[in-house]
Structures are given as C-alpha cells and as structure tokens.
Chains A and B, each alone.
Chain A
Amino acid sequence: MAQRILTLIAYLLRRLLLSLAGVIYIVLALAFWRLSFDPRQSTPEPAYYVLVIGLFGAAAAFLITLSVASRANQAVNYPILARLPSRVEHLVAVLITSLLFTLGLQVIVALLATFDGPALTLGRILELPPLWLAADLLAIALALHASDLVTSGWSRVYVYGFLAIILFGRQLDAAVIQWVSDRFYTLAGWLYREGYMAPGNALNGLAEWLASSGGQLIGTIFDAVFWPFRAISTAVVSGSFTPAQALAPAIVVLYSTILFVLAADFFATKDVYLTE
C-alpha cells in the first residue's frame, strides 16, 4: 500500500508542479511574502509571523487541494484507479500531495520572512509545526468536501450546511432564542387546541427550557466547537501555551480526521465519473 501511495504522490506532485497552476501558486507565495513581510518595514512581532504564515498556509492548502483533487478527478486516472485495491489510497495521495506542496510554500515564505524578521526563540520555532500542520490539514479536509472528486450527490451541501449551522449557532443571542421559544409556545397552544396533548406538552416543555437555561446551553455547546481556534490565537498572541491550550492543535487535527474519514467514505462508495 505504501508503495502505491508514494507512487501516486509522486505522480500528482509532478502533474501539479508541471502545470500553470503550480507555477502560479509559487509566484503567489512569493508575492504574499513580499506584501506581508516587506524587509523595508519594521521587524514583525513573532505572533504576527506565526499567525499570518499559518493563515497563509490554510488558504493555500484549500486552493492547492482543489487543484490536486481536480487533477486526480481526470479521466486519465481510470487505469490507475482500476489498479488500486481501495479508492481511498487515491484520496490519501491527494491529501498528502496537497499537504507537501503547501508545506513547501509555507516553508519558503517562513524562511524568507526570517530575513530582518522576528527574533524566534527555540520554543517559538517548536510551536510552529503542530500549529501550521493542524490548520493546513483542516483546510485540506474542508477543500476535499468542496471538490468534485469527493462530492457525492448533495454531500457538499450537507457538509457546508452543517458548518453554517454551527457558525450560526455560535452567534445565537437572547433575542433569537426568545423568538424561537415564543414560536414553540404558539405551536404547543395549537397542538393543545387540536387535542394533541402529548406533543403539545413536549413542545411546551422545550419552549420553557429554551426560555430559561436551554438557549444559553446550546450557545455554549456551539461555542465549544470553536474553542481550539480561540485557544490557539490567544496562546500565540500571549507567547506561551497553557497545558489546556496545548491540546487545541490536536483537537483541530481531530476535526480534520473526522472530515477526512467522511470524505473517504463518500469517495469509496460513490459512482466515479472522472472528467475528460
């Protein structure tokens, strides 16, 4: 399996590097460095260095994954797919290729930015790989779901719709919760009038719970999903990680793993129509 995946990585990397898109990404990375870390400007803060290159990596990872997945989704690959015992090997190769190319660009930008750049201590340097890798992996896993290679039926809508709900849920305020609770009270009243006592009671209970403590609890749960991102940015800005904050990159990797497993399941079970 390792030989097959390595072969596919070499093939996909070569196809990306020899394409116009590959060259454009390299040029864009250099342009990004020139704009964000202009040597003529004052020396940037270490936190700025870590966060800006980390965000650059995530954005690049997303776009590069779309490009690699698009090449992996071409009809030239039918004979290749026929040789693989599992299609997931193809997807793993896409993930690793995207990660390698992204890390290559990120390392180039990071090295260039050290000229007249921030004074990085050994501790700061050791922080970089887990932080940047976690962000890159999450962006790659999200991009896979946006690609035609992985998308199966409405899967793209479900995945991004779910993310939208989580983002929306995080911003639930008291007025919105009160409005939802009032609608539930109204619906419960209608159910009582129609003689549906049991569902009416259930809905009335739900409305009361939302109006008292439930809404806050839902907001807290949604908010907890975003804790790793807040923890990382807080720790980077403060310059040190607490033991709890040090777990945050691992949780981001866990999110990426869940998204990748989902993508692998979609890709392994879908009808494959490669583009010509």
Chain B
Amino acid sequence: MITIDNVTKRYFSLIAVDRVSFTVPRGQVLGVLGPNGAGKTTLFKLIAGFLNPDSGEIRPTHGYWPGIGYKPERLLFPNQMRVDEYLAMIARLSNISSNAIEQTVGDALAQVKLLDSSSKHIGQCSKGMRQRLALAQSLIGAPSVLLIDEPSNGLDPEGQADVQRMIQRIGAGGQTVLMSSHQLGEVTQTCSHLIILKQGRIHYRGSMAEALALRPHVTIQVDQELQPAEAMLTSLHPDIHIDGRQITLSNEAIRLRRYVLSLLVGMGFDIVGVAQKRTTLEEIYAEAVQWHNGS
C-alpha cells in the first residue's frame, strides 16, 4: 500500500527521522512505538504529505496514492461547529455524495459511540469526546490508509478498549492502519505488526507474533571487568555482547556458551552466575526509551 524508502527528515541540526525504510501492505495494522521525540509524529506527517522528506521517498506501492484519514495527536477542532456539522464537512471533502452524507456521519458517530452528542458544539465536548470525534473524522469515507496518532489519550479504560476493538475491525476490513502510541499494551492488543523508533531510527521491526515470541538469551556474570577480553570474545560471534561484567549470548551465539565459559575460566575470570533468560517486548521497548524496570 505504502512504501517508505530510506526517508530522512531534519529540523536544522536535529535528525527527526533517520533513513527509515519499511512497507505497509493493505490491511496491516502497524503500531509505531517510541518515546517522546523518537520521530513518530514526524513520520506520520511525512506519510500524510504535510512534510517533504530531505532524502528518500514515500510512494504508493501500487502506483496510485491512497486516500488518507489523519487523526492528529492534538485534539484541535473548530469549536464553534457542531459535531455532526464538522463530520459532514469532512464527508463533503471526502467526495461523499450529498444524499449519503447523513448516513456516513451517522455510521462514523456510531462506530465511536458518539451518536448522543452529535448536535453538541465541539467546544462543549469533553477530552474523551474530542478524542472520539478525532477518530470519527478519520474514519469518514473509509480511507484506504488511516494514520492514527495516540488514539486513546484521554479515554477511560472502557473507551480505550472500544478504540482497540474498532482499530482491529478496521484492519480486518482491509484498511491499512498506522497507529502511534506510547502505550505498549495498547499496541500489543491492537496491532499485527510493530515498529519501535528510537532517535528517528528503526530500533525494532517485526510482526507482533515475532515480537511477543520470547527470544532466549544467555547471560554470564563474572567477577571482574571484561574489557581486556572484549575484543577476543566479540570476535567469536556477532551476537555476543559485553556490558561491564556481563556477557550476553543471543540467537545462534547461545550454542557457544560452553566454549565461552571455558575461555573465561582459562583467562582467570571467576564465573559468578549463568542465567538463561528470554527477552520480552517490554525489554526491547525499554531499551528504546532508555529506562530499565529491573525485570
């Protein structure tokens, strides 16, 4: 549906999006996770066409540019308009014929459970209602790509669950969804695929099934700093990583654990502990946001 090819966007000296490449096929619900300043909103604005990449290209996979529904993070609306008037305007802008506008607006309001407030002025709506309205406007006209920035900010738990179910339904219906969020739980519940951005670059990319599959790794703790042996140990396999007094062997490198242990003993290190662990999605995200919860 959309291919993002080596896209970079700078704001003066700050690189907001750095050589990002991925393809979003039709019907995929892609979660974009990352801490504040990771480049999520900039990436969405690039895809929506508000910003131009400094290098790289964003192109439709099948040659024609899809219709885009955009739900911005900030809930800003023309407050003097009524909810239904605003949605009717978006429907007209989406080329919906005059006789179908009422039905389209009604459907969108029903999807976000806002039918009771259709005649309210937007200025009188609560934050939760504005969040639902922002989602409703992005659904109008069933655009083939939906860019949803922080869909459940300001929603109560029931509202969050509603939004998650709604996004799952949209993906199942064949629309492509890119959803950004700070909330890991929301993304894991809703998305079929996942990207984690860190300082504008893709830190992790994969299907949710892969991300949730707990990836094993072995950690070996020794009694002294491993710096003198670092070059030799890391040359054994690219999946061997040294951090202070700890060695981590992941993926194929796990098979070398006995050899590594014997090498360490031979070099005079005392083995303090050996543990077989599994990396969780939370740990991958924690690495991106640079906090450690100690789990």
In the complex with contacts A18-B80, A276-B76, A84-B93 CB distance below 8 A: yes
The answer to whether B49 has its CB under 8 Å from any CB of chain A is yes
The contact of B138 among A8, A15, A79, A272, by CB within 8 Å, is: A79
A78 touching B93, Cβ below 8 Å: no
Provide the residues of chain B in CB contact with A7, threshold 8 Å.
89, 92-93
Interface centre among A8, A74, A83 (most CB of B within 10 A): A83
The answer to whether B94 has its CB under 8 Å from any CB of chain A is yes
The chain A residue with its CB closest to the CB of B52 is A271
Provide the residues of chain B in CB contact with A84, threshold 8 Å.
93
B90 touching A83, Cβ below 8 Å: yes
Q: How far is the CB of A270 from chain B (nearest CB, A)?
A: 8
The answer to whether A76 has its CB under 8 Å from any CB of chain B is yes
Q: How far is the CB of A20 from chain B (nearest CB, A)?
A: 12
A80 touching B76, Cβ below 8 Å: no
In the complex with contacts A3-B95, A4-B92, A269-B52, A79-B137 CB distance below 8 A: yes
Q: Of residues 80 to 98 in B, which have CB atoms within 8 Å of A's CB atoms?
A: 80-81, 89-90, 92-95
A271 touching B93, Cβ below 8 Å: no
The answer to whether B74 has its CB under 8 Å from any CB of chain A is yes
The chain A residue with its CB closest to the CB of B77 is A76
Q: Which segment of B64-72, B257-265, B271-279 sits at the interface?
A: B64-72
In the complex with contacts A79-B137, A83-B90, A11-B70 CB distance below 8 A: no
B76 touching A83, Cβ below 8 Å: no
B51 touching A272, Cβ below 8 Å: yes
Cα of A15 to Cα of B69 in the assembled complex, Å = 23
The range of chain B's interface size is 20 to 34
The answer to whether B48 has its CB under 8 Å from any CB of chain A is yes
Provide the residues of chain A in CB contact with B81, threshold 8 Å.
14
The range of chain A's interface size is 20 to 34
Cα of A198 to Cα of B170 in the assembled complex, Å = 71
Cα of A84 to Cα of B67 in the assembled complex, Å = 9
The chain B residue with its CB closest to the CB of A11 is B89
The contact of A75 among B48, B49, B72, B89, by CB within 8 Å, is: B72
Provide the residues of chain B in CB contact with A80, threshold 8 Å.
89-90, 93
Provide the residues of chain B in CB contact with A15, threshold 8 Å.
78, 80
The answer to whether B291 has its CB under 8 Å from any CB of chain A is no
The answer to whether A82 has its CB under 8 Å from any CB of chain B is yes
The answer to whether B12 has its CB under 8 Å from any CB of chain A is no
The answer to whether A81 has its CB under 8 Å from any CB of chain B is yes
In the complex with contacts A82-B49, A82-B70, A76-B93 CB distance below 8 A: no
Provide the residues of chain B in CB contact with A74, threshold 8 Å.
76
Cα of A107 to Cα of B95 in the assembled complex, Å = 33
The chain B residue with its CB closest to the CB of A270 is B52
Provide the residues of chain B in CB contact with A3, threshold 8 Å.
92, 95
Q: Of residues 18 to 72 in B, which have CB atoms within 8 Å of A's CB atoms?
A: 48-52, 67-72
Interface centre among A7, A8, A79, A81 (most CB of B within 10 A): A79
The chain B residue with its CB closest to the CB of A19 is B80
Provide the residues of chain B in CB contact with A4, threshold 8 Å.
92-93, 95
Cα of A272 to Cα of B70 in the assembled complex, Å = 15
Q: How far is the CB of A14 from chain B (nearest CB, A)?
A: 8
The chain A residue with its CB closest to the CB of B122 is A76
List 19 extra interface pairs beyond A11-B89, A15-B80, A78-B76, CB under 8 A. A3-B95, A4-B92, A4-B95, A7-B93, A75-B72, A78-B50, A79-B70, A79-B71, A79-B138, A80-B89, A80-B90, A82-B49, A82-B147, A83-B67, A83-B68, A83-B94, A84-B93, A270-B52, A271-B52
List of 10 A-B pairs having minimum Cβ-Cβ separation, nearest first: A82-B70, A7-B92, A83-B93, A272-B50, A76-B76, A271-B51, A78-B72, A75-B76, A82-B48, A82-B68
9 interchain pairs (CB within 8 A)? A4-B92, A4-B93, A74-B76, A75-B74, A79-B134, A82-B69, A83-B93, A83-B141, A276-B74
